[in-house]
Chains A and B, each alone.
Chain A
Amino acid sequence: MSEPVPSDPAGFDAQPPRPTWGVRTPLRKSVSTREPILVAPAPARVCIPLVQGETPAARPLVAIGQAVRCGEPVGAPAEPGLPQVHATIAGRVTAIGPALVAGAGGPVPCVHLEGTGGDERWPGYTRIAAPEQLAPAALLEGIARAGITGLGGALYPTARKLGMSAGAGVVLLNGVECEPYISCDDALLRERADRVVAGARLLVAALGARQCVIAVKNGMAEARAALYHALEAVADPRLALSVVTARYPAGGERQLIELVLGREVPAGGHPADVGVVCQNVATAAALADFFARGQPLISRIVTVTGGGVAQPRNIEARIGTPIAELIALAGGYRGEPLRLVMGGPMMGIALPDDGLPITAATNCLIAATALDLGMAPGGALEPEFPCVRCGACVEACPAGLLPQELLAVARAGDRAGLAALDLGECIECGACDYVCPSRIPLTSVFRRAKAAG
């Protein structure tokens, strides 16, 4: 069922067919790309989670009171292939134990560090002259040691994902960033396209893949130009650039595979089933940072934006930095933000408190005002109306589902009906919810139904 990939990389640069699904939303990205990436100074204290995503927690390698340098391992992976955890500042361990971090449902094990003022680097990692000549096994081992996880937001351990995808011929690097407001990947591509391209070559080498396609969104002109020049500089025929539509959710893993490669991941399957591995562009850059510069994953680029901050911008921040410090670097709050959203407005999580530390998944922080969210000034929610079967959700669904029927079946508690309508294929992108004129919280209903089933 998979079609062959065109051998001519230039073929990817053509405007792809317009998808029949998805929604057009305001993008509001340019507010945060006016300023270059701000490299934040080391914060006074950090809280580093020992857990990434759904994997078991790392085992602490340090004791309370111990002094650590920036980049020093503080957590050993519970299983081989999982990422190691590093100190993100130089300082002293003040506590080890459960704490709340941004985006986590409950307390997770963390290492708390208090800075010593300096930013001494741990000398344990050295740069490698020609990392792409390493054996795939050595690359995978290095990726886990560097603590690299998927930086697109899902935090899937990169070494494990690559290890499970052996034999995949195509690496699809996702720089599409289809969620409104978020511009961290755009900023990364504009300023550090060379690192993304270097990382892309490492991913190809780690997998033994034939090809790597770097996908950006239509409209990301500067990022596209920077990528073009970086690709020209390495002149690697295995790398290609693809531009996809600015429709949400074009950057969803399955949707991007469909748009760029014309392949569909089988229902219930993985991208590797159609010979593809998807990685975020920031993840690729993290590979380059480790192998070519000896820097493990201790920081990430975070877009701090929204009508509720004074100077929206992208900030490269140490993992574990309290959100409030990033807000301060963006000029502090302005007006009356109603919600603090981690991620984009479509799939993002509304955080209860700006004292929470950021994780490797924190790609964006939106201090959202009522205007940002299209709400009444007080932020009052519009009451739900009955479904009028307008079909807007059917048009929006990128998975080809019938949200209006799923809603009726879910509310009736009909498990068999939900399975027959393929609820399992819902990616919870929120597109149906966004367009619903009756303001029905479809995504919440589906999330609950999936959790119950």
Chain B
Amino acid sequence: MRFDTGPSPQWRAPGTVAAMMRTVVLALVPALLAHVWFYGAGILVNAGIALVAGLATEAACLRLTGKPVGRFLTDGSTLVTAVLYAFCLPPLCPWWVTVTGMVFAIGIVKHAYGGLGYNPFNPAMAACALVLVTFPAAMARWTAPDIGDLDYARPTVAATITYALAGSLPAGTGVDAIARPTTLALAREGLGLSRTMDEIQAGPAFGDFGGAGWEWIGNFTAIGGFALLLLGVIRWHTPAGVLGGLLTCATLAWLLDPDTHPSPGFHLFSGGAILGAFFIATDPVSSPATARGRLVYGAGIGVLTWLIRAFGSYPDGVAFAVLAMNMGVPLIERYTRPRVYGRPRA
């Protein structure tokens, strides 16, 4: 009897890149649901628009570079980029903002560098940074979360879609009327006016630690993050580095002067800290492949995030911190190589 032959290993562990991507998206579902609960369906509308724009750009780029369109279009990586990008966008966001960032993420950041696996920068964060600096007004118009205010007017799904596509809300509910600055922006503004953190955090937009509502989204994001850890999709090094770096800086500053520095809890539960630690900094392509390297890389993101929040001109710094550390990846990998078996200990 004759048999097929092939090189060893004769078998493979289950698990593919596409399965990894699907698991990441599933792990984001709790955070998405919490987002919808507090901010309405805006994030889903934005993610949908980003996905359509992303897939169209991806298909065009694959065709241009002569790669198999069907295989790469279904690998799930564009879906992950679209969802993570949507977390950076305000719930009410004009479609051209969303599309601009996404076309840039897929067309330039990903495919101009060779496509999946070759991008030195995190596409979702590059898109986020682009729209932050290009459309600062649109990006600053965050709606208030639904935290039980009596005068809260939640934009309906239809109104959200209309705003995204046509740029206007139904009569009587102009976006400026329901827009609020984020808590990180409020803290920055308040500190600029020489108010103490205690006075600032007495405001209605603040919850126990971070923004009211937003801190719950943080909790649900962490659930998904821990699921990824347990499933072995991500390793602990990067999240530990990010949160360790951010909280160390925040704690030291807060101990020095709690009036002018937000508490570590505020830093943890505001902005993109938890999402960044578990879902963004862990993007394998744009982060180091060595365990020690991931710790260093994560810590760098944590420290830079705190520095940008404390001294920079943007309220949140996760996107910029990630992009800055992306640039350091080759250097970090070079200096964090594991010791080869049988080579002397350095």
Contacts and interface: CB of A to CB of B under 8 A. Distances in A.
* A in complex with B: yes
Interface stretch (A122-130, A223-231, A372-380): A372-380
A129 B218 CA distance: 77
B117 A382 contact: no
Interface residues of B, number: 43
A395 B220 CA distance: 29
B4 interface: yes
Interface in B288-345: 288-291, 294, 333, 337-344
A401 to B, nearest CB: 6
Interface string B178-215: 00000000000000000000000000000000000000
B1 A23 contact: no
Contact of B3 (A268, A340, A401, A447): A340
Interface stretch (A7-15, A196-204, A286-294, A344-352): A344-352
A443 B290 CA distance: 20
Contacts of A1: 344
A350 B117 contact: no
Contacts of B333: 405
A40 B11 CA distance: 30
Given A345-B11, A400-B339, A402-B337, A350 B4 contact: yes
A374 B2 contact: no
Contact of A433 (B12, B288, B338): B12
B342 A402 contact: no
Contact of B16 (A350, A351, A437): A437
Give chain A's interface secondary structure class: loop
A17 interface: no
Contacts of A195: none
A391 B7 contact: no
A386 B5 contact: no
Given A25-B13, A339-B10, A402 B5 contact: no
Given A388-B285, A402-B337, A422-B343, A434 B2 contact: no
Interface string A323-364: 010000000010001111101011111111110000000000
B3 A337 contact: yes
Interface stretch (A106-114, A235-243, A258-266): A258-266
Contacts of A379: 4
Interface string B121-155: 00000000000000000000000000000000000
A343 B8 CA distance: 10
A267 interface: yes
Given A346-B9, A352-B5, A391 B342 contact: no
A65 interface: no
Interface of B: 1-17, 19-20, 71, 75, 115-118, 235, 284-285, 287-291, 294, 333, 337-344
19 contacts: A254-B342, A265-B342, A324-B1, A339-B4, A339-B5, A341-B10, A347-B8, A352-B2, A353-B1, A366-B10, A368-B11, A386-B117, A387-B117, A394-B338, A400-B340, A401-B338, A422-B340, A430-B9, A434-B9
